[in-house]
Structure 1
Amino acid sequence: MEPWNPLFRGVLVTALILLVGVPPTLSFVVFPELERRGLDTTRARHVSLSIITATLIGAGLAASALAVGNARASEVGTFLTWMGSTAAGGAWTVFIAAAIVSGAVTAGHRAFSERVSRRFWLGTVSVGALVMLVAFCWTRFSTAIENPAVAILVKFAHMGGGALWVGGLAVLAVLPSLVPREPETDLAEFVLSTVRRFSLIAVAGVTIAVTTGVVISAWHVPALSALVTTKYGILLSLKVGLVTVAAAIGGFNRVVLHDEIAYSVGESKGVAALPGMLTGVRPRIAASDAVSTVTRSIRIELTILMLAVGLSVALTTAVTPSYELLEPAVAASSEVVQGVPLTEFGTLLELGAISVALAGALTLGYEVGQFGVHRKERKEQPDSQPREEVELSND
């Protein structure tokens, strides 16, 4: 393997995460809240165009660099021969085609926003990103199981769920650049609504990513001891630890920071009902500090998750899976750890995946209910109508 391969792989994975996760957050979270409050969306549109354009270029260049290396290593002849005669070549062709279509529509929206609507643009990029993700997973799936279709599907779901979470956080991390610079804007209430909307996407993404991640771990780590005796297991343990910390920060943002901001603007009725331990660490947040406080916490969460993404790249490019090292020994072993045979460790992980899926479904149901309640309350309040846009002549 070429030394630069992990670097390009990391750039490609990061670009895919952004392409899959950014458009849904813009479509469902940011733009609807800006428009509902009558706020100017010009800054958000310009920043979104820049992010998506740069990400498409990065994805195309990284994928092409990896393709050139693969073509040379395959020794099938010319690059065109590699494209037409190998699965990797076909996947790269589909990947680049989807990137070109997405880029063309992005350029069209930038130049002709009246003809190429924002909904069509973000929808096209979302579909293109999913096609690119399928192409990526087509030749980069786990060989620990015999059914390639299942391995591809699980990897697609794992990366897609993670992308919804991480890509959405990337949008909220630049939230100050998305809102208009208007002193009369009530940004605290905007932040509250934005966090509530994003929670729906984040919970769904986290549930899918963690559930499928546990399944993949069950394939690759056949024994509990592998988590501390193999390089793959150690890196996987570090990744799980980082994801757990990030999820805890996300929960803190949703439960503590959100309710404290709501309390400061007189909206929350549930802050007093927070568990005693949480009320003890509840920060005092002024409404004027809502954007900076939430953004700072989200950036910490995003940084931790990007470290986890880096470990994922290392796990899939530079480390031998534990099952290739330990499976024969585990199959012949009768070792028992805390009453659980090591040969059943994978089964326990699969049961854990089911538990995560159920917990995630319940949490998502709660978030949907909360979103519906707040939406109903807004409709019942006569002063919740979107304010009129400020005329430029009055600025």
Structure 2
Amino acid sequence: MRRSPDGTDDERSMLGRATLVGIALLVVVSLFTMPAAGHAYLSESNPQNGAALDTAPETVELSYAGDGIELADVTVHGPDGSEISGDTTIDSDDRQLVSVPIEDVGDGMYTVQWEVLADDGHTTSGTFFFTVGEEQLDRDAVRDTYSEDDDDDGTLFESGAKGILLLALIGLVGIPITAWVAVYPVSGRITSTTIEQIDLRIIQLVAGSAVLLALGVVGLGLTRSTALGATGGPAVQQFIGTTLGTIWLGQLALTGAIVGILIAAYRNIIERRAWLAAVFFGGIAMQLTVSWSSHSATAVDRLQGTVIDFVHIFGAGLWVGGLVVLAVVVQPLVRGREPIAARESVAAIIRRYSIVALTGVTLAGITGLFLAAWHAPTAEALLGTLYGTVLTTKTGLVLFALGIGGVVRFVLLRSLDPTAQGVFGRTQPTPTVPVREDGGESTTLRRVIWGVRIELVVLIGVILLSGMLTSIPTAAVAAGDEGIPQASIETEHDGGVVELSALPADDANDRLFVHEYEPVIYEATFRDQSGEQISSDRTVRLLATHEESDTAIEIDLEETQDGTYATVQALPAHGDWDLRVSGQPEDTFVAEWFELYVIIDHPEHTHDHSHGDLTGEQTPFAGWLGLLGLVVGVIGMVAVSIETIRFGRRQH
């Protein structure tokens, strides 16, 4: 293409291509659907949780849903508490299968503790048990296994490393684009000395991003390598042998390459256009490695999750990375220059940056809403979890930053450039506060600079919160994690109340519901008429009868430290059972009946009570979020088009 004398043809062409790329990405993103998938949580085990066996198995096998397993640590303890397991093995053909050999140490309760590092870099853990022989289960030991938390809440170090890594990626992408599209095209209006100052500052900005990149990559790799408790060289060596470890080595190599490019740029070995492009594409490659192993890619869909996550970070880079350039480069443009020239240069850069920023905001907005629909598919999940609280705070800060950006673009810019159009395209000259005759900054320019800096600080906080969001369980997982269900019902008698609770169990219509063959903790409590808990003067017994199979089971309940009476029992037949609790509180014999229903377990059915997963659920709330994302996309495309048309008209 032929270049016009003032270079505006090439500049418009460049902005037009950038806008078309942004719109194309937006259209592609809007075509994605929201499928459901799992996470690296235990879905099935052999033996099953609570299984009663005649003899101990030679191997314990664990099957996980969703993500593949990178590292696993499974430990089995025998009835006497000693460790009886060998080395943990991940199936090479199916990385969702983990096994560990164990020794047969006789009858009793065997406890299995597991912890895994999944493809998305998150660790999960849990505990289950099985029994061998006829020995009575210990209530406290069973309760401990049911109360184990299997969600990784992340660590402050991991959140910080991810936040730093995201800041670096945003700088590596946004700084070169803004410098290329918004700053250097106005270089014909400024002196060579000022250009040298701008070159140096941009190199310093990108170098700062490279330092953050190195800190984030190294910190995150070390965090993941020590996730299962190992430390030092062996932990790192083991981690390098995983898929995540391979990606980490690639990230280290990319970091080294970017640092090498910057050293060459600082020494003027390569020209500006070349090193800016090299840094930009290095940042893009790094973004791809991060998005490929993101939670969205591993938990929802590898391709769709990668694209959505990538576009989200890319859009944030266009917006926030450009603000970094404006915050640092504006002052060299206004110092020591003619007032009118300084004012026009700053206004021209802001107009150009506005197109980049609007494209970035649009891309980040639509993908952010799609991500929210995946990971917070219900209002309850959004409002009732840590993930939802952080996401809501992040959204509020983003809206605040958008407000500041709007003031800079549609209010302060008109003070710098009276011919600039307002929100609705009207051109109304506005009295300006001139630049001082000594070349110093006018009040309006100071407001512009401080507005940009405040917006930047707010968005840096947003990025750090994003690092936290990627390190904690999503709202879809946390909201589904209802813990072990416990239910209780009670009956009244002349002397007070008898309460029977069961864990795990549900209740409805004064009836308990438990699973067939699952060990359940039954706990009886006696209270007098005032509600005070009282003890029994004789042995408390639980009688369970199943009329259909003519089965009767009678068990002595043991008194616990909190004054209740408990046992652990699995009922062998599905259907209606009648339970009778008998005892003698305050010299009065009591025998009260309760209704219970045992739910039949099909071979393909598993009932892991430790967690739930709502990721990608097609809920009305998720649908509204997706629709809102499309609305934001349409509005954003219109805004980018209008801003681009305005810019083109000003060049004529």
Which shows bigger deviation, 35-44 or 188-197? 35-44
Do the aligned partners of residues 73 and 327 (structure 1) sit closer, same or farther apart at CA in structure 2, a change above 3 Å counting? Answer: closer
| AA in 1 matched with 2:203 | L
Give the aligned partner of residue 52 of structure 1. Answer: 206
* Equivalent residue number for residue 30 of structure 1: 183
Secondary structure of the corresponding residue to residue 183 of structure 1: coil
Distance 2:621 2:334 in 1: 53
For the pair shown, the structure with the greater C-alpha radius of gyration is 2
CA distance in 1, matches of 2:626, 2:287: 25
Judge conservation of contact 1:98–1:132 (CA < 8 Å) in 2.
yes
The alignment status of 1:251 with 2:406, answered yes or no, reads yes
Matches within 5 A, 1:73-152: 73=227, 77=234, 79-83=236-240, 85-111=241-267, 113=268, 115-142=269-296, 145-152=299-306
Say whether 1:326 aligns with 2:479: yes
Q: Would you say 1:354 and 2:630 are equivalent positions? A: yes
Matching of residues 203-222 of structure 1 within 5 Å: 203-222=358-377
TM-score (normalizing by structure 2)? 0.51
Alpha-carbon distance in 1 for matches of 2:398, 2:625: 17
| 2:394 alignment partner in structure 1 | 239
Q: Is 2:349 the partner of 1:194? A: yes
More strand by share: 2
- Distance in 2 (alpha carbons) for counterparts of 1:285 and 1:311: 38
Asked whether the equivalents of residues 367 and 629 of structure 2 are also in contact (C-alpha less than 8 Å), the reply is yes
Q: Counterparts of 1:220 and 1:139 in 2: how far apart (Å)?
A: 16
Equivalent in the alignment of 1:368: 644
Query: 1:17-56: CA deviations, max 9, x gaps?
Result: 1111111111111122123445530111111111212221
Decide whether aligned partners of structure 1 residues 291 and 260 sit closer, same or farther in structure 2, where only a CA change above 3 A counts.
closer
Q: CA deviation at 1:73?
A: 3.0
Partners of 1:159 and 1:61 in 2: CA distance: 18
Matches within 5 A, 1:205-354: 205-263=360-418, 267-268=419-420, 270=421, 285-288=433-436, 289=442, 290-318=444-472, 320-327=473-480, 343-354=619-630
Shift >4 Å, 4+ stretches = 36-39, 74-78, 270-275
The answer to which of 244-253 and 135-144 deviates more is 135-144
Residues 235-280 of structure 1 show CA distances to partners (whole Å, capped at 9, x for unaligned) of 21111111111112212211111112212xxx44x469778xx99x
Which amino acid counterpart does residue 164 of structure 2 have in structure 1? V
Residues 89/349 of structure 1: CA separation in 2 closer, same or farther (3 Å cut): same
8 Å Cα contact 2:381-2:478 kept in structure 1: no
Q: Deviations over 1:342-393 (max 9, x none)?
A: 93110111111111111000000001101101111xxxxxxxxxxxxxxxxx
CA RMSD of aligned residues (A): 2.7
Using CA pairs under 8 Å that are at least 6 residues apart, name the structure with larger relative contact order, 1 or 2: 1
2:582 counterpart residue number: none
Change (3 A) 1:143 1:157: closer
Q: Which amino acid aligns with 2:171?
A: L
Q: Give the share of equivalent positions with the same residue, in percent.
A: 28
Unpaired segments of 5 or more residues in structure 2? Answer: 1-153, 437-441, 483-617
Between Structure 1 and Structure 2, the one with more helix by share is 1
Give the direction of change, closer, same or farther, for the CA distance of 1:18–1:158 in structure 2 (3 Å limit).
Answer: same
Decide whether aligned partners of structure 1 residues 21 and 273 sit closer, same or farther in structure 2, where only a CA change above 3 A counts.
Answer: closer
Supply the distance in 1 between the matched residues of 2:177 and 2:157 (Cα, whole angstroms).
Answer: 32
Alignment partner for residue 329 of structure 2, among 154, 172, 175?
175
For residues 250 and 396 of structure 2, the distance between their equivalents in structure 1, rounded to whole angstroms, comes to 35
2:17 counterpart residue number:
none
Q: How many residues align?
A: 353
Displacement of 1:202: 0.1
- CA offset at residue 72 of structure 1? 3.0
Gap change, CA 1:326 and 1:46, over 3 Å in 2: same
- Which amino acid is the alignment partner of residue 163 of structure 2? G
Partner of 1:362, secondary structure, is: helix
How far has the Cα of 1:143 moved from its partner?
A: 6.2
Cα gap change, 1:237/1:372 in structure 2, threshold over 3 Å: closer, same or farther?
Answer: same
